[in-house]
Structure 1
Amino acid sequence: MTIRISASLTALALAAAPLSGFAVAQEPGSISLDTITVDGESATGPVRGYVAQRSTTGSKTGTPLAETAQSVSVITREQMSQQNAQSLNEALRYTPGVTPESRGAGASRFDLFKIRGFDAVNYLNGLRMQKMNWVSPQVDPYLLERVEVLRGPSSVLYGQAPTGGMVNQISKLPTMARFGEVGVQFGNNAQRQASFDFGGPVDPQGRFLYRLTGIGRMENGQIADTEAERFAIAPAFTFKPSDDTSLTLLGLYQRDPKANAYIGVPSAGSVSYNPNGRLSRRTNVSEPNLESFDRTQSSAGYLFSHRFSDAVTLRMNGQWFRSNIDYFSVFGSSLAANGRTLSRSVSLSHDELDALAFDNQLEWNFSTGPLSHTLLTGFDAQSSDGYFVSGTGAAPAIDLFAPVYGRPITLPATRRTDVTTRQYGLYAQDEIRFGNFIATFAGRSDWAQNKTTVAGARSATDDHALTGRAALLYRFDNGIAPYVSFAQSFTPLAGTDATGRAFDPERGLQYEAGVKYQPVGINALLSAAVFDLTRENLLTTDLVNRGFSVQVGEARSRGVELEAKASLDFGLNVAASYTYLDTKYTRDNSGLEGLVPTGVPRHMASLWLYYDLPASLVPGLSLGAGVRYVGSTFNTNNTIEVPSVTLVDAALRFDFGKLMPQLNGMALQVNVKNLFDKDYVGTCYTSTTCAYGQGRVITAGLNYRW
């Protein structure tokens, strides 16, 4: 369904949700629509264009992004669709501060990325997706409405979380607009895909809404003799007995019988010289007949809200997530002096994890004299119970340049590890407005327990942590909003030191200053930020008691981030970013002090433009182009430098309905990622684990929407 809104309303980037009371003018070749009311964009709902106005991730209260005193980026559904993002890594490619695809083309089975130089975590609808061993939950981007990136510490609202930041994935939810969409897509690497998305009201009053989204995809992997398969379905149902009350039930079932390969190649022959020649990015150092990764994920959740009055709102969210994985891989361990004989190891694991997460919030809006308050209080909890049976052993060596597969492999001995985690948190946040000033103060208390049992030997930690956040922003009438902020984080650590004392949680501290600019009358949001972020209590080698660790490690990240998002009236969408990072270990006993963490570039930049050509020129034609630059990176001990790379993407879309009204809703879309087929290495972890980046990917899809 196509909705045309006047330029003045477009500038507000309002959600196109059909209600009642706003007439839409009909143009030649368009279809008649019911009247709608244009209301303010919700903090989780659809967005027209690339510029979201609100987000729940930064404050949990739907504070406008232009008034949020922390760096938050939103990748909208429209941007993901136009770029044809088929993984979370791909969706994050044009976002500042984020280093996606840290495992190169082999990252398809996991969402591996860094924010501000450090590993980050995933959330789904504001609730953490918990991990364990090889369990790392992944949701296909087609099932998402938007992706929100919070850069910097987030513990004050979300509990234990890495210092660098978090990514919050928002599911597609039922809407008041009745619609349907089906699509097919084909591409190189033998890709075949089919998708569907249906939804709308069940009854005339719109009290019952539904949505059903699904996707199936099969393709060959870039590494020789590997494949990927995915089948996912996500039902959602909303009950709205009144305008003040809403309950949404969410489901997810995702089956990944195959997921390419999670292996690398030696640095000699990929990023450095090898007398035997250069290794192909299709080089498979594993055993094609044995390499496997079989994952099944199931989830059920709810989103409940009730507005008692204009001043008081209750929100209660919950989620159950289960993951079951079978993993088997053969990978390189050391390269012989001849540069071609690679000794190998074998690893296998069976993992099962059940996780629960809840978040209950009460929001109060009130005034004390000239001060207006938005007070948020909350209690959240998360728990997980899981186990994995795993083992690692030796495997026969292989000739990299003349591989022979199928030699007998002795399966390694395995042992079972049971893992139980519990966390409970109480938090409060007050957003205080005085004229154009907005001050935010937040505090949190957390209790976290972790129990691990390995072959009958049990260890446990019991932590308590206090975290806080404070920020001040001033919004000028012309849309400029400078701010400063301070935030803390904590992450529990398992294990004990040489004396048997349990490790304290890792702590994080960030100072940030920035400015946001939302031009009046233009649908755009510009932002700039500088930050100084420190991680403390990192584990490092105990120099007195070898084999043990002590908590004297420290790492620091300083940098600058620039971002511009715009959806302009004449049909141009823009996403641009630049990142400068100065990240290093500032204290360490194992030789890392002064070194840059693995896979962290100093410079990153990107620009994506998508333009709907005027109907007078070529009716229905849209063109897109993007360029991505990632600076050079290093391996763990900084002995291997991975060269920088510049990649180009392109897109073309043709809306048949603009040319032939009887074909309204049908569109052809072609995307090319890495247009010039750049052969490059994404990351090196060790001298035998370097991951090639994704080569050129061409897809062509036909969609019909009504």
Structure 2
Amino acid sequence: MRRQRAFTPSLLALAVSSALSGQALAQSGTDDAPLLTEDTVVVQGKAYRHTATKSALAPEETPQGISVVDRETLDQRGVDSVAEALRYVPGVHTELRGGAVSRLDLFNIRGFINYQNFYDGLPLTYNDWNLQPQIDAFAIEQVEVFKGPTSVLYGAMPPGGMVNLIARQPSSQPFNELTLAGGSHDLREGTFESRGALKDDGSLNYSLVALGRKKDGQAETSEEERYLIAPSVDWHISDRTLLNLNLYYQHDPSAGIFNTLPAAGLFKDNVNGRLPADAYSGDANWNTYDREVLLVGYKLNHELNDDWTLLQNLRFMDATAYQENSYGAGLDADQRTLARRAYLTDEASRSWAIDNQLSGRIQTGSLEHNLLLGVDYTWLNSDIRYEDGAMPAIDLFARNHRLFQPADFSADFSADFRRSTRQTGFYLQDQIRLDRLVLIAGGRYDRYVGNEKGMQYGAQVDSTVEQNKFSFRAGALYELPGGFSPFVSYAEGFEPITGHDRHGNTFKPTTSQQWETGVKYQSADRRHQGTLSAFHITKENDPTRDPNGSAYDKIQTGEVVAKGLELEAGSYLTDNLSLAASLTLMDMEVTRDNSGLAGKTPIWVPERQASLWANYDIFDGALAGTTLGAGVRYVGKTQMDAFNTDQVPAYTLVDLALGYDLARLNGDWDGARVQLSANNLFDKRYYSCFDESNCWFGAERELKASLSYRF
């Protein structure tokens, strides 16, 4: 039989679970305030590893920032995407391409953009074009955000951090839930989740999630449609050996839009007036995004003895995406006529990812060592075809979305090539405990090989880049009496860079370093917890313009510095009322560059962000069984373009959630529950920009109502 291992939840998991545990409280039938003990936390199972340590060790013992969003939070807020799940996480600025673009989860962490998520500890391999696998929020048990450089454990990653999506897990306890939902933009959604034992002795357990969703997109004439199924089986081969087999299949026949709008008519003046929030610059006859993703894998966890464990995590991906789209090519002087270009992309990717981990404990005197040794390997082959051609202009203030016919498309230039990448990493980590002192140190050596071969814009290309990098990480945390734990850490990261300068010198990897210090707090009764951290990140070797070359020549002299403060806290103020809050203060600057950007702040980086979520549970009276939630989130001004010529306005949004256990109304309805959620309740207009010509509207008001039945 599987031996369940309890673990202490991370700080934000505690904060969020305290703020959103109303259903469990209502079902308890007591007036006592709940204590956040190990028994109240969902156990992930033997094959689960915390993102911050790649071990079974609790993240609150890790002297580096990590935040967790649990399943209950996702359900209550009606979250449909990873981007939405990250809205209340400090240090994360999400939905960088606005609310109408839903086909990718684009966000930055501590100022640095992240294009690749991890799923159950392995990368969702991304070809740097348009085929980005996107895991639906319904298939996720929790979202873990690891702050700062993470290369020591995960290889090539941006310096701001990473997101690891934890899949729903099999269980021997029977559970079935069917949910039907509807809402804004003609939303129609059905989901099903089932868990339980396939054998009476509990040696074979399963999990199954399935979803179908269809709705109108926020932009005119657009649609969004998705279907997924994700089965998983745990086979307890013996008391010491667990094999998990998992599959994830998702088909997105349509995925909204990807087009932009000029700033004039959004938040900048336009002589023709303001554009509505559903304005669209593309053509309904040339707007296709059809994506299929298949993930098949296994996790094998074997306890060699009471102290040492071997985990092998493997996944194969087969994915395709076909796109027909357009982009703006300049706004006329009349501020209403937008020139356009049509393009298509046809992409197919296959990849393998494997991570082998050996972890164990060694006692040397009064020191307890938790060792981790690992080897991981990622292989990706992607075939990419791109074609670009002329398209009629559109009048943005008298929009006709059927000016172009597919038969009219003729490519002026194109590309057809294969992109291949290989990355191998060897890593070692030791986490040492001496009474109240926790020390961690680790190192990793990576070898990266990238190749592009084929036709690109009229020229044959066959280029190979080989880059090697060693990364280091160290930190310390001390658990003081009274619940305070100060910590300090240093971490390094890298990202491979393709290409070369005009002298033929191949670029080196972009490198990064972070210093972080702060204090974590948790009260003895676990009713109050918080973390305050300060960080300083330096990213070096960014390619920048060669002052002695052409406009397209690059050299590696760029440097960017990001520094800031993050605060997150959660508290039970009363038995009924709980709060979860966050605050982020950021200062990011290009400190070295040959393109005139030195001293500028990169786009999509707000100086201030803040959020507060309040939860109120009603235990007695006519409304017993009701959970009320309300949140407010503030995002400060960002730069409109790289040269900081103007700013995108700040915004404040309000979200609401309401849940009710129908069994309180009628005992025959045991297992039934209704849930209402409202995001951007007051339908606030807000924006995001890449530059003056390329902006997006934020998400409109989204209302969602669901009825679920557990059996």
Please report the TM-score for the alignment, with normalisation by the length of structure 1.
0.92
User: Does residue 190 of structure 2 align to residue 194 of structure 1?
Assistant: yes
1:79-158 equivalence runs, <5 A: 79-120=73-114, 121-132=116-127, 133-158=129-154
Does 1:586 pair with 2:580?
A: no
Distance 1:669 1:43, change over 3 A: closer
- For the 8 Å contact 1:473–1:484, the answer to whether it is kept is yes
Mean CA deviation greater in 178-187 or 312-321: 312-321
Q: Does the Cα contact within 8 Å between 1:55 and 1:65 map onto a contact in 2?
A: no
SS at match of 2:708: strand
Secondary structure in structure 2 of the residue aligned to 1:66: helix
List per-residue Cα deviations over 1:589-619 (Å, max 9, x = no partner).
1122111111110000011122221223512
Q: How many residues get paired?
A: 675
> Which residue number corresponds to residue 518 of structure 1?
522
Show the counterpart of 1:532: 536
Q: Which AA in structure 2 matches 1:186?
A: G
| Aligned residue in 1 for 2:671 | 665
| 1:45 to partner: Cα distance | 5.8
* CA positional deviation for 1:43: 6.7
Q: 1:197 to 1:25 in 2, by over 3 A?
A: closer
The one-letter code sitting in structure 1 at the alignment partner of 2:706 is: G
How has the CA–CA distance of structure 1 residues 252 and 569 changed in structure 2, closer, same or farther, with 3 Å as cutoff? farther
Other structure's SS at 1:700 match: strand
CA deviation vs aligned residue, 1:638-696 (integer Å, no higher than 9, x gap) = 22311000000001111011232221110011111100011221x11122211000111
Deviation at 1:476, TM superposition (A): 1.7
Asked whether the 8 Å contact 2:14–2:529 carries over to 1, the reply is: no
The one-letter code of the counterpart of 2:421 is T
CA deviation after TM superposition for structure 1 residue 312, in Å = 0.6
Separation in 2, partners of 1:672, 1:370: 53
Q: How does 1:173-212 map to 2 (within 5 A)?
A: 173-212=169-208
- Which deviates more, 502-511 or 393-402? 393-402
The range that moved more, 56-65 or 123-132, is 56-65
Post-superposition Cα deviations, 1:316-353, rounded to whole Å, max 9, x if no partner, equal 11111222000111221211111111111122100111
Q: Partners of 2:577 and 2:370 in 1: how far apart?
A: 36
Instruction: Classify 1:81/1:569 alpha carbon distance in 2 versus 1 (closer, same or farther; 3 Å).
Output: farther
The one-letter code of the counterpart of 1:232 is L
Q: CA deviation at 1:244?
A: 1.9
Given the alignment, which residue of 475, 484, 494 partners 1:471? 475
Q: Counterparts of 2:177 and 2:643 in 1: how far apart (Å)?
A: 50
d(CA) in 2 for partners of 1:565, 1:55: 24
Change (3 A) 1:155 1:112: same
5+ unaligned residues in a row in structure 1: which ranges? Answer: 1-7, 17-23, 30-36, 47-53
Whether the 8 Å contact between 1:522 and 1:568 is mirrored in structure 2 is no
1:357 to 2:342 alignment: no
Q: CA deviation at 1:290?
A: 1.3
Distance 1:27 1:354, change over 3 A: closer
SS in 1 for 2:604: coil
* Counterpart AA for 1:498: R
Corresponding residue for 1:643? Answer: 649
Give CA deviations for 1:378-424 in whole Å, capped at 9, x if unaligned: 11111101111002233221111112343344332422121010011
- Inter-partner Cα distance in structure 2 for 1:447 and 1:509: 19
Correspondence for 1:701 among 666, 685, 706 = 706
1:411 partner letter: S
* Deviations 1:101-136, CA, capped at 9 Å, x for gaps: 001113310010000001123000011111111011
Code of the residue aligned with 1:468 in structure 2: it is F
Whole-angstrom CA distance in 2 between matches of 1:567 and 1:445: 45
Q: Which amino acid aligns with 2:280?
A: N
Paired with 1:26 and 1:690, the residues of 2 have a C-alpha distance of: 47
Pair 1:64-2:64 in alignment: no
Classify 1:316/1:268 alpha carbon distance in 2 versus 1 (closer, same or farther; 3 Å): same
| Mapped partners of 1:340, 1:442: distance in 2 | 56
Question: What is the CA–CA distance in structure 1 between the aligned matches of 2:577 and 2:165, rounded to whole Å?
Answer: 25
Q: Kindly state the Cα deviation for residue 233 of structure 1 after the two structures are TM-superposed.
A: 0.5
Instruction: Flag the 1:27–1:45 CA change in 2: closer, same or farther, 3 A.
Output: same
What one-letter code is carried by the residue in structure 2 that aligns with 1:127?
Answer: L
CA distances 1:465-497 after superposition (whole Å, capped 9, x unpaired): 000000011012322111000000011111111
Within 2, Cα distance between the matches of 1:524 and 1:203? 42
Q: How does 1:224-239 map to 2 (within 5 A)?
A: 224-239=220-235
Assess, with a 3 A threshold, how the Cα gap between structure 1 residues 38 and 94 changes in structure 2: closer, same or farther.
Answer: closer
Q: Which amino acid aligns with 2:514?
A: Q
Shift of 1:68: 1.1
Q: Give me the whole-angstrom Cα distance separating, in 1, the residues matched to 2:230 and 2:583.
A: 35
**Aligned-partner SS, 1:273:** coil
Whether the 8 Å contact between 1:426 and 1:446 is mirrored in structure 2 is yes
d(CA) in 1 for partners of 2:680 and 2:310? 46
Correspondence for 2:660 among 654, 665, 671: 654
Unaligned runs of 5+ in 2: 1-7, 18-24, 31-36
Structure 1 position 253, deviation (Å)? 0.5
Q: CA deviation at 1:524?
A: 4.5
The answer for the alignment partner of 2:464 in structure 1 is 460
Counterpart-to-counterpart distance in 2, 1:687 and 1:430: 49
1:172 aligns with 2:168: yes
* Identity between Structure 1 and Structure 2 (%): 37
Q: Which amino acid counterpart does residue 599 of structure 1 have in structure 2? A: W
Aligned counterpart, 1:410: 409
Distance 1:417 1:433, change over 3 A: same
- Closer/same/farther in 2, CA of residues 502 and 40 from structure 1, 3 Å limit: farther
- Contact between 1:104 and 1:692, CA under 8 Å: does it hold in 2? yes
- Given that residues 130 and 321 in structure 2 are in contact (C-alpha distance below 8 angstroms), is that contact kept between their aligned partners in structure 1? yes
Given that residues 66 and 481 in structure 1 are in contact (C-alpha distance below 8 angstroms), is that contact kept between their aligned partners in structure 2?
no
Show the counterpart of 2:33: none
Matches within 5 A, 1:396-407: 396-407=392-403
Whether the aligned pair in 2 keeps the contact of 1:306 and 1:313 (CA below 8 Å) is: yes
* 1:142 counterpart SS class: helix
2:621 corresponds, among 611, 616, 622, to 616
Deviations 1:248-288 (A, max 9, x none): 11101100000110112111111110011011111111001
Aligned partner of 1:502 among 498, 503, 506: 506
Amino acid at match of 1:239: W
Root mean square deviation, CA, Å: 2.4
- CA 1:687–1:394 in 2, change beyond 3 Å: closer, same or farther? farther
**d(CA) in 1 for partners of 2:124, 2:492:** 21
Task: Determine if the alignment matches structure 1 residue 341 to structure 2 residue 345.
Answer: no
CA–CA distance in 2 between the matches of 1:630 and 1:28?
A: 39
Which whole-Å CA distance do the structure 2 matches of 1:647 and 1:625 have between them?
11
* Letter of the structure 1 residue corresponding to residue 609 of structure 2: M
